[in-house]
Amino acid sequence: MKILLDTSDVQAIKRIAATFPVWGVTTNPAIVATGRVQLFDLLPAIRDALGGKGTLFAQVISSSVEGMITDAQKLYERVDNLVVKVPVTPKGLQVIKELSAQNIPTLATAVYGSAQGLLGILAGAKYVSPYVSRIDAQGGNGPEVVSELQSLLSMHAPESELIAASFKSPRQALECMLIGCKGITLSPEVFDLFLADPAVAIAVTQFEEKWKGAFSTDCL
């Protein structure tokens, strides 16, 4: 199971990576723009926050085929262990196909349907990311799309990997894990909610109080 963070917040990445083995970090143009740090300054900072490890994902910016290919080449040449994110559009499929021929790894992104995601993989992408909560917001069923896409990949492209994205709650992410999804990317806010149940803190406090009451010490 691969857990990735979806953010440009370097301090949040550093905080979470200090306590949990984060597999990688995903970004997109909107996330990078929110942080207002240039991408080629941001990516090394993210790498440092991960302790020099992990896989980074960054998206092309250009809207033309030639421009997206150039963006991808620049990203891949300048950042170690990077996967280029390409939207699954007619132009994007052409870009994924060409980058695959150049041995540049890609993630098929902006996926709202299982057939669309499969096309991205068949064009040459190694990874694919369906947008779970965005699909739900449009009246669809995000986990169902993940399930369908997972089945399609198992039958037609077993070497590829599905990394579900766009979660608003831990429950959404758990539903995809239960389906068998091997990778998810979470915002730091949703990651923190996995540990936010107040009952946990209460239970830990009770353990400490009982121990101190019996042994007058807070350690072994």
Give the CATH number, domain containing residue 181: 3.20.20.70
pLDDT tens string 31-89: 999 989 999 999 999 999 999 999 999 999 999 999 999 999 999 999 999 999 999 99
Residue 54: inside a domain:
yes
With 90 as the cut, is the pLDDT of residue 218 above it? no
Instruction: Give 219's pLDDT tier (boundaries 50, 70, 90).
Output: confident
Owning domain of residue 190 = 2-215
Q: How many domains is the chain partitioned into structurally?
A: 1
pLDDT in tens, 79-118: 999 999 999 999 999 999 999 999 999 999 999 999 999 9
| Mean of per-residue pLDDT scores for the chain | 96
Cβ atoms of 72 and 39 closer than 8 Å: no
pLDDT of residue 216: 87
- Check if 85 is active-site: yes
| From 85, 91, 210, 212, the catalytic residue | 85
Cβ-Cβ contacts under 8 Å for 40 (sequence gap 6 or more) = 78, 79
Separation in Å, CA 199 to CA 173, 196, 206 = 21, 9, 11
Q: How many whole angstroms separate alpha carbon 163 and alpha carbon 33?
A: 23
Is residue 105 in a domain?
yes
